[in-house]
Amino acid sequence: MPERVGEPVIAPFGDAALLVTFGERADPDLTARAGALARLLDERRPASPAVGRAVPAHATVLVPFDPLAMDATAAAELVRHAVGTMTGASGSDAAGDLIDIPVRYGGSDGPDLEEVAERHGLSAADVIDLHAGARYRVLFLGFAPGFAYLGGLPDAIATPRRLSPRERVPAGSVGIAGEQTGVYPLSMPGGWNLIGRTDAVLFDPLRADPALLKPGSAVRFVPAR
Amino acid sequence: MILEALDGGLLTTVQDAGRPDWTHLGVPVGGPADPWALSVANLLAGNDPADAALELTLVGPRLVAREGGVLGLAGADLGARVVGGRRLEAGRSYRIAAGEELAFDGADGAGHGRALRGARAYVALAGGVDAPRVLGSRSTCLPGGFGGLDGRALRAGDQVRSGPSDRRPAADGLVWPIEDDATADAPRAPVTLRALPGAATGIGSLTGATWRVAAAADRVGVRLEGHDLPPDIGGEALTHGLPWGAIQIPPDGHPIILGPDHQTTGGYRVPAVAISADLPLVGQLRPGDEVRFVETDSDTAVRALRDQRDRLAAGAAALLEAAGWDRLAASAGG
């Protein structure tokens, strides 16, 4: 399907949500558009209480609505109107602050660092330089409370998921899976290659602003010891 | 009312209407697996339909009343009884005296610890369950480890207290007058779930078969087995947002019906979504149950949901008359 800018596909997803699809691939520009639409819809919620919290992802926005208060056609019309008023967001627009995340790389904090280095014919120091030298962008949140999908991992250290997931990955672990890097906000099972760990609290439900990383935030990892 | 747990049961959590406003930060919507039954339990206890109550799973807790009060019971029959005393039926309100001990350990009275029909019972305390609001809700968020009782399931030693509010004088001996879809059918009859097409093709591959609920059935999702789907039906998709009730197919071909604690985004194909009116049925599925899907259309889905809301309001109105409460019907309808 050809992607025409400004004309996403808006389709019902069950009886209480729409899925708005900007494209079929992970692409920074599509992600930025999805994020911009989600923000716009959220800003308009006070005027449309039947519309729920929008959930952006790589190239889509999930738009929940109360089907007893609004039908799918009206919800789609509302989305279409919002799309029509979107300004040209792109992946290079900085929507958030720059957040530094201090990371203790390697050792027991990053048990897979050496393996990642060997796989790419690099030294552990090279992996740290590459990982900490890049600037990342939060694409969207999902998977677990406060978990941010980050774009911008250097290809040279992209590493497939571990074959057997760990039963328990400590909170704050910094990992690589495929072309993604991310931080586990809580202790949970996981299959990412763990290269370090941070003391930063990624998610605290009692904080006024519970998630440290939000869509659009720019992120840098800073080696710490 | 104060109930102290002598045993937490298999999985007992606090649930209210959940956290639909925090999904953009990866927080699951949460709330009751069977929203209908939570509402009924609350209405019987004189509460608002979405007040916080206890959700019990398959084998309930042992609770001793340190302070007496009225409670509403709804959902699956987990064999509730006062130890050494009377049987407590789902769909009724009861006054519990201080010192009485409650057990929920088996519908057949033989101590098998299994409900005859349905997986989850709801115990509403008049005044609601007192727990701090976290992100706008008292629900236990197990995936995030917060809310309810310190973000975890009930365990021995915990005290569950009713809220300070007594909006209505609690009345015991009330009987819920409306049939409960999710727990009404004869045991062992296949459960029919109505579904709409999802974000991927292939709903037809789900509707032809009878599925069996696998052992992996929890608040995150209910896994189905018993058939091999064509390989192109399942598998990975570009990660996108997911509604409660989405039926996702991982690469192994075993469908998962997402529950209230599902991840907010997912990367598997979703060929179908269960309709909202049938989510209570999903919440009452237990391992071994048989499930069939039928495809429906969105008009039917919305009609079914409206009908469910109207039946809840009718039940609330009947209780209002029986107990002489005011404001109850209005809040149930809204």
**Per-residue pLDDT, B132:** 96
Rounded Cα gap, residues B267 and A60, in angstroms: 12
Rounded Cα gap, residues A170 and A190, in angstroms: 10
Distance of CA A111 to the CA centre of its chain: 24
- Out of A82-96, A183-197, B83-97, B126-140, which region has the weakest mean confidence (pLDDT)? A82-96
Rounded Cα gap, residues B331 and B318, in angstroms: 14
CB-based contact (8 Å) between A201 and chain B? no
Based on C-alpha coordinates, what's the Rg of chain A? 19
pLDDT in tens, chain B (334 residues): 999 999 999 999 999 999 999 999 999 999 999 999 999 999 999 999 999 999 999 999 999 999 999 999 999 999 999 999 999 999 999 999 999 999 998 754 444 444 567 999 999 999 999 999 999 999 999 999 999 999 999 999 999 999 876 566 678 889 999 877 666 656 667 999 999 999 999 999 999 899 999 998 899 999 999 988 887 888 888 999 999 999 999 888 899 999 999 999 998 999 999 999 999 999 999 999 999 999 999 999 999 999 999 999 999 999 988 887 655 545 554 3
For range A39-65, the mean pLDDT = 96
For range A31-45, the mean pLDDT = 94
Percent of chain A past pLDDT 70, that is, above it, reads 93
| Mutant choice from A10, A13, A206 vs B, greatest count of B C-beta within 10 A | A13
**Per-residue pLDDT, B91:** 95
CB-based contact (8 Å) between A16 and chain B? yes
Q: Which two tokens stand for residue A13?
A: 């997803």
C-alpha distance from B154 to closest chain A C-alpha (Å): 20
Name the closest residue on chain B to residue A21, using Cα atoms.
B240
C-alpha distance from A23 to closest chain B C-alpha (Å): 10
Verify whether the Cβ–Cβ distance A210 to B22 is below 8 Å: yes
Cβ-based contacts of A13 with chain B (< 8 Å): 198-199, 243, 246, 270, 273
**Per-residue pLDDT, B146:** 97
Of A17, A21, A56, the CB nearest to B243: A17
Verify whether the Cβ–Cβ distance B198 to A57 is below 8 Å: no
Rounded Cα gap, residues B6 and B260, in angstroms: 27
- Out of A41-50, A82-91, A125-134, B103-112, which region has the weakest mean confidence (pLDDT)? B103-112
Verify whether the Cβ–Cβ distance B238 to A186 is below 8 Å: no
Cβ-based contacts of A42 with chain B (< 8 Å): 24
Answer yes or no: pTM beyond 0.90: yes
Distance of CA A161 to the CA centre of its chain: 17
Name the closest residue on chain A to residue B277, using Cα atoms.
A15
- Check: CB of residue B114 under 8 Å from CB of residue B142: no
**Per-residue pLDDT, A215:** 87
Q: Can you tell me the ipTM of this complex? A: 0.92
Tens of pLDDT, residue by residue over B80-98, are: 999 999 999 999 999 999 9
| Mutant choice from A1, A9, A15 vs B, greatest count of B C-beta within 10 A | A15
| Burial of B264: CB neighbours in 10 Å, binned 0-12, 13-18, 19+ | buried
**Per-residue pLDDT, B332:** 52
Q: Number of A to B CB contacts under 8 A, please give it.
A: 146
Verify whether the Cβ–Cβ distance A205 to B243 is below 8 Å: no
